Structure 1
Amino acid sequence: MRIFVVFLFSIALCISTPAQAGDPPALVLDLSNWCLTLPIDSNQAGKPDEIGQPDLASFVDDRYFRANSQANGVVFRAHCGGVTTKGSKYPRCELREMVEDGTKRASWKTHGEVIHTMDMRVAITATPEVKPQVVCGQIHDADDDLIMIRLEGAKLFVERNSFGDVMLDQHYQLGTPFDVRIQTGRGTVDVWYNGKQMMSWAVSRSGCYFKAGCYTQSNISKGDESESFGEVVIYRLQVEHSD
């Protein structure tokens, strides 16, 4: 009996062992319904590398995508000279929402009965020197970004393209963790910042999905060095879709 109890205790310890520095980011965040875009083109296919499931479950890149030293967050980095996706002139190390255990791209609408929610605890830890701008989260629709959580200098805000920005923090300090909730459904998009609702916007879009990570808003044509970078640490990332 004692041997059996010890065996069960050993199993419990293995299951509950926390992530350690150097472990795959998938041991820190649940990445089962995400794919990752990197700011590099290692296979020379003419577009940025994309890491999907099941490879993302064990993927680590010490430069761009790794657990932080405390193993309580995932570091996303994109340098200004990085490869960009079609239709964008800026590099990214960014997750794209998927469904069905990462096998299919998510696509939903803001005006249905289903409520779509992304909760994040995140810190922006670095911005390029010349154009210090980084996006850490967004809703993208079938054609373009719908909203982006964006830092420009010290101003952290919700960008809505031609519909006007919504300020979250006018004096954000790099490295400061904050909580953000983006929720949409039944014809509105709502944003909370550190528990306070900051936006409720009536808007209808289709083909939508969440994105999270580091979308650096500069490149060498803006005057930044190729190795200058943006960096984001995500400590919590949860997505839910509920009636």
Structure 2
Amino acid sequence: MSPSLLLVVSLGSFALEDDPATPGAVLDLSGWKLTLPVDTSRAGTPDEVPAAELGTFVDPRFFFLSAEPAGVAFRAPCGGRTTKNSRYPRCELRETTADGARPAAWSTDDGGRHTLTATLAVTALPAVKPHAVCAQIHDAEDDLLMIRLEGRKLFVERNDVGDVPLDDDYRLGTPFELKIEAAEGVVRVWYEDDLKLSWPASAAGCYFKVGCYTQSNAAQGDAADAYGEVVVSRLRAEHSRPN
């Protein structure tokens, strides 16, 4: 078998050239852009922070260092601005190419192996509708799968295909290891090193998303300043393709 070319998009490690008080000192964010739940003078509604700026970017309201658990906090309040096709706010990374120049777009059956590994902890949920998403594969049209917490039920959501349980008694603030892989037309999910899902699925225009996508708003009865929050302490996306 011919050797594979391995491209590492994002690796959780210390970037010593960055300000140690910024998230870019904890996670290598060069292969991601960030969506914020706010509209300011920055381009985009809501704002986007491109990969070229993300290594030194910090926002004490939404995107900042967490001490307990240690990592990068992503916070999305229920009153935050939303993206065009969603009712709900997000503070979320969207995968780009390794150089940050273009949005990532790969297929589950393109001959490559596409893998996300992360250490995550959901640390806060809104009171009325306590739902949040912490990781996704999104394709060209819609989410292919989401890692979702509803109260204490942590699971893989696959729209009309059916949910796959990960933890029926998840406690807020508990870090967990997550691995999502798409290769040869099959999507697999591991939770704490246990394979929970092996699903034949063909999808194109795919990319990973990680952070906090709060699944509530004022219309659901939650206060504008209620929020979901996810802490990410390790993050790696990699893509291997045969020569």
- Whether the TM-score (by the shorter chain) exceeds 0.5 is yes
Secondary structure of 2:34's partner? strand
Contact preservation (8 Å) 1:136, 1:149: yes
Choose which of 34, 37, 62 in structure 2 pairs with 1:64.
62
Contact preservation (8 Å) 1:19, 1:71: no
* CA–CA separation in structure 1 for the residues paired with 2:239 and 2:59: 30
* CA–CA separation in structure 1 for the residues paired with 2:36 and 2:192: 29
Change (3 A) 1:221 1:130: same
Contact preservation (8 Å) 2:121, 2:172: yes
Change (3 A) 1:79 1:190: same
Secondary structure of 2:180's partner? strand
Contact preservation (8 Å) 1:139, 1:209: yes
Secondary structure of 1:85's partner? coil
* CA–CA separation in structure 1 for the residues paired with 2:16 and 2:212: 29
* CA–CA separation in structure 1 for the residues paired with 2:79 and 2:116: 29
* CA–CA separation in structure 2 for the residues paired with 1:38 and 1:89: 14
Change (3 A) 1:118 1:44: closer
Matched, 1:189 2:187: yes
Task: Give the aligned partner of residue 163 of structure 1.
Answer: 161
Matched, 1:127 2:125: yes
In structure 1, stretches of 5+ residues that fail to align are 1-14
C-alpha displacement of 1:18:
10
Q: Which has the higher contact order (CA 8 A, sep 6+)?
A: 2
C-alpha displacement of 1:66:
0.7
Change (3 A) 1:112 1:224: same
TM-score normalised by structure 1 residue count: 0.90
Contact preservation (8 Å) 2:18, 2:56: no
* CA–CA separation in structure 2 for the residues paired with 1:46 and 1:31: 19
* Alignment map for 1:99-178 (pairs within 5 Å): 99-178=97-176
Task: Give the aligned partner of residue 203 of structure 2.
Answer: 205
Secondary structure of 2:234's partner? strand
Secondary structure of 1:54's partner? helix
* CA–CA separation in structure 2 for the residues paired with 1:120 and 1:100: 17
Contact preservation (8 Å) 2:18, 2:24: no
Choose which of 79, 82, 90 in structure 2 pairs with 1:81.
79
C-alpha displacement of 1:69:
2.6
- Structure with the largest fraction of strand: 2
Secondary structure of 2:100's partner? coil
One-letter code of the match for 1:215? Y
Q: Compare 69-78 and 109-118 and name the one that shifted more.
A: 69-78
Matched, 1:32 2:30: yes
- Structure with the largest fraction of helix: 1
In structure 2, stretches of 5+ residues that fail to align are 1-14
* CA–CA separation in structure 1 for the residues paired with 2:43 and 2:155: 35
* CA–CA separation in structure 1 for the residues paired with 2:117 and 2:184: 19
Query: Sequence identity of aligned pairs in percent?
Result: 54
Secondary structure of 1:221's partner? helix
Contact preservation (8 Å) 2:128, 2:220: yes
C-alpha displacement of 1:103:
1.2
One-letter code of the match for 1:154? R
Task: Give the aligned partner of residue 10 of structure 1.
Answer: none
Contact preservation (8 Å) 1:148, 1:160: yes
Moved over 2 A (4+): 15-20, 43-46, 69-72
Q: Compare 73-82 and 47-56 and name the one that shifted more.
A: 47-56
C-alpha displacement of 1:24:
1.2
Secondary structure of 2:46's partner? coil
After superposition, the C-alpha distances for 1:127-166 in whole angstroms (9 at most, x for unaligned) are 0000000100000000100000000010000000000000
C-alpha displacement of 1:53:
2.4
